[in-house]
């Protein structure tokens, strides 16, 4: 959502997750305290952030602070389904791809060239951006 290249691992093949993180230069973001005890992480070979707190806002803020992601994020530049960069689309190009009410009221669209999902900058988008901006980051570090 914030425009950071992210892969979600729903269920537990930790070995596979670690291999992919190492191969692709990713940082593991987890709530799994056991994960943090792995040698590949304690040795500093692979970077990991242990997320604490239960509220999503707290969690985002923590990850932003620990990874130094203050205010440079680009909201909705990547597909939330498949992580692919989104492309601008004209209104004519999305005709028939979005609900009639949306088509009538929205002017700005982006589409994923990989899964063809269409996003628009409606009230939900604006509320999300406001929320993300409100979270800020710790720019003092
Ligand atoms: Zn996609």
User: Quick one: pLDDT at residue 141?
Assistant: 40
Average pLDDT for residues 20-34, to the nearest whole number?
95
Residue 26 has pLDDT above 60, yes or no: yes
44 CA distance to ligand 1 middle (Å): 33
Q: What is the pLDDT of residues 103-124, one digit of tens each?
A: 999 999 999 999 999 999 887 7
Residue 137 confidence (pLDDT) above 70: no
Q: How far is the CA of 91 from the centre of ligand 1 (A)?
A: 19
pLDDT for res 138: 47
Question: Domain residues of the chain, as ranges?
Answer: 1-72
Instruction: Compute, in angstroms, the gap from residue 82 CA to the centroid of ligand 1.
Output: 4
Q: 124-131: which pairs have CB atoms within 8 A and are 24 or more residues apart?
A: 125/75, 125/76, 128/1, 128/75, 129/75, 131/57
What's the CA gap between 9 and 95, in Å, rounded? Answer: 34
0.75 cut: is pTM over it? no
């Amino acid at each position: 959502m914030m425009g950071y290249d992210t892969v979600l691992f729903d269920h537990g093949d930790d070995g596979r997750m670690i291999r992919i993180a190492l191969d692709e230069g990713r940082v593991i973001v987890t709530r799994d305290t056991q994960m943090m005890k792995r040698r590949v992480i304690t040795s500093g070979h692979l970077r990991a952030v242990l997320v604490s707190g239960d509220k999503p806002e707290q969690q985002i803020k923590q990850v932003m602070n620990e990874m130094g992601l203050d205010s440079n994020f680009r909201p909705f530049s990547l597909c939330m389904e498949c992580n692919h960069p989104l492309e601008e689309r004209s209104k004519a190009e999305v005709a028939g791809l979005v609900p009639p009410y949306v088509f009538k009221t929205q002017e700005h669209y982006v589409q994923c060239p990989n899964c063809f999902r269409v996003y628009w900058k409606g009230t939900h988008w604006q509320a999300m951006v406001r929320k993300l901006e409100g979270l800020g980051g710790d720019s003092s570090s």
